[in-house]
Amino acid sequence: MQYLYDCINLIQKILYPPTCLLCGAPGSAGLDLCAGCAAEIPRPGPACRLCARPLPQPGICGACLRHPPPQERTVAPFPYAGAMRELITGLKFHRQLAHARLLGALLARELEGSTERPALILPVPLHPARLRERGFNQALEIGRPIGRLLQLPVDSGSCRRTRDTPHQMGLHERQRRRNVRGAFSVTGALSGRHVAILDDVVTTGSTAAELARALRRAGAARIEVWAVARTVER
């Protein structure tokens, strides 16, 4: 399956050179994004190392100092605004699957300098009912190009969403936390491993934190959370 996917990708690259997904102009820097639209993507700024909340300078935010999250690190560089928001909503709600490759490439570039690589990428699973409804898991679609670029395996089988949680939108942080409690089960052998949870957007971080707790119970040694974007206010 992966081989087939790689072949299709190669053929696509030969037949269709990089083209901006937002405006149709030729892509630049090997991305499906032109220089003009790339300039419209809000730049990453300093953030909390544990939860990715924006900070005036890199460090750990007050909330994480009071209640450390279950993960050791969160990388969610791009503010969920402007062209970044357009790319993510296009993927999630308008089935623009080509956006996943670009989003994955943008996050992979931010991660390239990381010294300690995880052993695997674990996209946040969707509940089977939600997967049927949407037809694809956006986190897995974004994870595939990241796995290829960083040469890391993408594990979509070790972890399940056992409870179909109502949409998180419009819920407060505490309600969100309650909403996802016990939503995941880990079946794969992840004991002692360094794992990177991958999601498209981090909002309050409650979904990723719940999955991180499940992974911790399953024995994972080090857990990071990766997301392309973080919401601006929370």
The only residue of 64, 98, 119, 131 in contact with Zn ion, by rule CB under 5 A:
64
DSSP state of 225: E
Does 50 contact Zn ion by CB under 5 A?
A: yes
What is the DSSP annotation of 145-201? HHHHHHT--B--SSEEE-S-PPP-TT--HHHHHHHTTT-EEE-S--TT-EEEEEEEE
Determine the interface stretch with Zn ion among 43-51, 81-89, 140-148, 209-217 (rule: CB under 5 A). 43-51
Task: Tell me the closest approach of the beta carbon of residue 154 to Zn ion, in angstroms.
Answer: 26
Does the footprint of Zn ion cover residue 35 (CB under 5 A)?
A: no
Part of the chain binding Zn ion (CB under 5 A), chosen from 60-68, 83-91, 129-137, 170-178: 60-68
Q: Is 75 in the site for Zn ion (CB under 5 A)?
A: no
- Beta strands per DSSP E along 34-183: 73-75, 78-79, 120-123, 159-161
Q: Please report how close the Cβ of residue 26 comes to Zn ion at its closest, in angstroms.
A: 9
Secondary structure class of 122 (helix, strand, coil): strand
Show Cβ contacts of residue 75 under 8 Å, excluding neighbours closer than 6 positions: 52, 107, 110, 111, 114, 224, 225, 226, 227
Helix (H, G, I), strand (E, B) or coil at 68: coil
CB of 48 to Zn ion, least distance (A): 3
CA distance 193 to 175: 31
Task: Return the number of the residue (26 or 219) whose C-beta is nearest Zn ion.
Answer: 26
CB of 23 to Zn ion, least distance (A): 3
Residue from 40, 44, 54, 61 touching Zn ion (CB under 5 A): that is 61
- CA angle at residue 197 from 150 to 188, to 5 degrees? 100
Contact region with Zn ion (CB under 5 A), list: 3-11, 14-22, 97-105, 202-210: 14-22
Q: By CB under 5 A, tell whether 51 contacts Zn ion.
A: yes
Q: Which residues sit at the interface with Zn ion, rule CB under 5 A?
A: 20, 22-23, 25, 34, 37, 48, 50-51, 53, 61, 64
